[in-house]
Amino acid sequence: MPVVNLDEKLKMFSERWSPKIVARFNGHDVMVVKVLGEFVWHSHPDTDDFFLVLKGNLTIQLRDGDVRLGPGELYVVPRGVEHRPVAEEEVLMLLIEPEGTPNTGDAATAARKEMI
């Protein structure tokens, strides 16, 4: 596989809340994403949810409090835990989820993930 330069991958698209697959690892998609605004409350019953902020400041709302992440900070939302990412400015992130995981927790509303 080729080396993945995260900055170069992030320059290849502008749409938000649409994770792009940049590598695969042990049955997981490694993705970059741009987000701004409020996502939907959701959970993933069968997988933890890995967030690493590359640029900007992200709030992950949880039912029992907020988590705030800046660049170089990571957080793993445990499986089954409801959460809602919120970004007051554009945030660039690295995400890791098992292949085929719907980003909204619901296949009907999930973004289609393409490899770039």
The residues binding a second copy (CB under 8 A) are: 1, 3-7, 22-26, 28, 30, 47-48, 50, 52, 54, 67-69, 72-76, 78, 94, 96, 98
In angstroms, the CA 93 to CA 34 distance is 7
Residue 115 CB, nearest distance to a second copy (Å)? Answer: 13
Nearer to a second copy, 24 or 63 (CB): 24
Nearer to a second copy, 30 or 111 (CB): 30
Which residue, 74 or 115, is less far from a second copy as judged by CB?
74
Distance CA 74, CA 95 (A): 10
In the complex, the smallest distance separating the C-beta of residue 9 from a second copy, rounded to whole angstroms, is: 10
Closest distance of CB 23 from a second copy, Å = 5
Contact of 50 with 74, CB cutoff 8 Å: yes
CA distance 81 to 57: 21
Q: Considering just the CA atoms, what is the radius of gyration of the chain in Å?
A: 13
Spatial separation of the C-alpha atoms in residues 113 and 116, rounded to whole Å: 9
